[in-house]
Amino acid sequence: MAKNITLYEALASRGITRRGFMKFCAATASMMALPPGAAAAIAETLGKTLRPSVIWLSFQECTGCTESLTRADSPSVEQLIFDFISLDYHHTLQAAAGHAAEEAREHAMTMGGHLVLVDGSIPTLAGGLHSTIAGITNLQMLQETVENASAVVSIGTCAAFGGLPAAKPNPTQAKSVQELMDEGLIARKPLINVPGCPPIPSVIAGVLAHYLTFGVPELDKLGRPKVFFGDSIHDRCYRRPFYDQGKFAKTFDDEGARKGWCLFELGCKGPTTFNACATTKWNQGTSFPIEAGHGCIGCSEPSFWDAGSFYKALSQPTEPLDLAAGAVVAGAAIGVGASIANRAKKNAAKSQHETATLKDLEK
């Protein structure tokens, strides 16, 4: 696809009519959590926007973020947006390899004004030697690619906050893009964090669409777009009424679990996790983890891997703003009770704990 065509022309070449384009813009506005009235502005802007050059860099990561975006099984809005951008470098997806691949990146870089997408954290120990591509460290590659970029998007929790590679004891001294900018190790550019392990595909596409139409979206204090990360999972959870009524599942197979009661006492991190899972959902809007009976693990928050067990209740319910004072006290009592019960469980487990050996793991 040529670079000097607009999104409307790109869609028209696929047989999408003007009405189809208007519908696409209405769906894009919905995906970006913008008011439907914004669809007209999106249509006008995307009708004029030329294909942007995008360089996608993958560092210390598991490829789950790329999988999240590319594994959709139907021609969705997000795929159309993703198809529209000129993805000039993505070493997992591109056909070119070796010197040809690196030449594509260097060519896109010299033009300037490109958008850099990063997944994976960046090792800094020993000059970054723990991860290299094409003979240079991830840090060097990021430094030269960001230099003339218009903006950077950190895709996934590893790029946004360090993620699993930065989990204790962080053997490679892995850092996020934000940390590298703060330390002056790479040029400071407008940065959008899109955390999640992996991030929701329509959120990735929504951020790209927002950047193409209205520029960098409004961000929260962690650099996340407020349109997607402005509400906690808990506040938008369909099980929230059960929390307010004090109805909690105590185990994964008790009556409360079968009745769909709140999973707070089973360790759900929904109250402290900001993401769009409860509204956007996964697998083409089918459901999200809580709907499948498992609590939120808080994967879009910094250091989620080091925040204790996924199955340990938060110390007390948070922000019960809509509750009467009595209910707040009752909720706090439940939280404290859960905390004490968990401590007792932990102590019991500790007393029975035996150190696992390599032999045990091979059984």
Partner 1 sequence: MSGLADIAIVTADALAGATPAIDALLTELIQHVERLKKTGESTSIDLRALLSQPEIEHLKATLGQGEIQASLQAFGPSSINETRVPGVWFVEHRNAEYQTIAELLMVTLCPDILFTPVENLSESRSLLAGLITNNEGE
The contact set with partner 1 (CB under 8 A) reads 16-24, 26-27, 29-31, 33, 35-37, 39, 73-77, 238, 241, 257-260, 279, 284-287, 291-293
Contact predicate 52/215, CB 8 Å: no
**Which of 140, 37, 3, 27 is CA-nearest to residue 78?**
27
Contact predicate 262/249, CB 8 Å: yes
Strands 174-175 and 122-123: antiparallel
Please identify, using beta-carbon distances, which residue of 32 and 191 lies nearer to partner 1.
32
Q: How far is the CB of 239 from partner 1 (least distance, A)?
A: 9
Q: How far is the CB of 76 from partner 1 (least distance, A)?
A: 6
Q: What residues contact residue 84 under an 8 Å CB cut-off, 6+ apart?
A: 1, 7, 10, 51
**Which of 200, 198, 207 is CA-nearest to residue 151?**
207
Alpha-helical runs (H) found in 172-233: 177-182, 201-214, 226-229
**Which of 202, 217, 149 is CA-nearest to residue 177?**
149
Please identify, using beta-carbon distances, which residue of 16 and 222 lies nearer to partner 1.
16
**Which DSSP state fits 291?**
G
Q: How far is the CB of 283 from partner 1 (least distance, A)?
A: 10
Q: How far is the CB of 242 from partner 1 (least distance, A)?
A: 8
Please identify, using beta-carbon distances, which residue of 88 and 265 lies nearer to partner 1.
265
**Which DSSP state fits 74?**
S
Please identify, using beta-carbon distances, which residue of 19 and 353 lies nearer to partner 1.
19
Please identify, using beta-carbon distances, which residue of 31 and 200 lies nearer to partner 1.
31
Contact predicate 205/164, CB 8 Å: no
Please identify, using beta-carbon distances, which residue of 122 and 276 lies nearer to partner 1.
276
Please identify, using beta-carbon distances, which residue of 114 and 239 lies nearer to partner 1.
239
Please identify, using beta-carbon distances, which residue of 198 and 256 lies nearer to partner 1.
256
Contact predicate 207/193, CB 8 Å: no
Question: How far is Cα 268 from Cα 79, in angstroms, rounded to an integer?
Answer: 31
Q: How far is the CB of 11 from partner 1 (least distance, A)?
A: 8
Please identify, using beta-carbon distances, which residue of 29 and 181 lies nearer to partner 1.
29
Q: How far is the CB of 22 from partner 1 (least distance, A)?
A: 6
**Which of 17, 18, 13 is CA-nearest to residue 1?**
13
Which amino acid is residue 57, in one-letter code?
L
Q: How far is the CB of 238 from partner 1 (least distance, A)?
A: 5
Which amino acid is residue 196, in one-letter code?
G
> Order of strands, edge to edge, in the sheet holding 151-155?
86-90, 53-58, 115-119, 151-155, 191-194
Angle (deg, nearest 10), helices 38-46 and 201-214: 70
Q: How far is the CB of 164 from partner 1 (least distance, A)?
A: 29
Question: How far is Cα 96 from Cα 107, in angstroms, rounded to an integer?
Answer: 14
Q: How far is the CB of 109 from partner 1 (least distance, A)?
A: 35
